[in-house]
Amino acid sequence: MTQTELAEHLSAHDILPTAQRLRIAAVLLASPQHLSAEQILAQLKADGARVSKATVYNTLNLFSSRGLIRPLSVDGTRAWFDSNVEAHYHFHDVEGGTLTDVAVPEVQFSRLPEPPEGMEVAGIDLVIRLRRRPCG
């Protein structure tokens, strides 16, 4: 995505495209990714960008609330942000911590429970935990 496209993307979601936000968007939206705030900050610093930790967090929260990215709860210890906002599921390598996308058609439910009275399904989070197969 070009700088201009990124800027338009932000504007389209009512987000002022400032320098920092564009840098963060560039890292996250370059391709489908699962990144923690810390990783994004590290990446930005490595790229020589001048961005503070607070701005990274504020921006990530802003992006989530505007639907540009999606927060994930995979390991309790930190928040992950998924730049793929389309419906999809995840493989989670428990040992390495890596996340991989699983496309919707890869999973089919032949049965799902009825939500309780007065409630409706807002979304389905599916995480398939993986471990190395015992050698042999």
Shortest Å, Cβ 61 to a second copy? 12
Q: What tokens does 101 get? A: 């996308």
Which phi and psi angles does 74 have, rounded to 5°? -110, -45
By the rule CB under 8 A, 118 interacts with a second copy: yes
Q: What is the identity of the amino acid at 20?
A: Q
Could you please report the per-residue DSSP string of 84-105? Answer: --SSEEEEEETTT--EEEEEGG
The answer to whether 125 contacts DNA (rule: CB under 7 A) is no
14 touches a second copy (CB under 8 A): no
User: Which one of DNA, a second copy, none is in contact with 58 (Cβ closer than 5 to 8 A by kind)?
Assistant: DNA
Contacts with DNA, residue ranges (CB under 7 A): 15-16, 18-21, 36-38, 50-55, 57-59, 61, 76-79
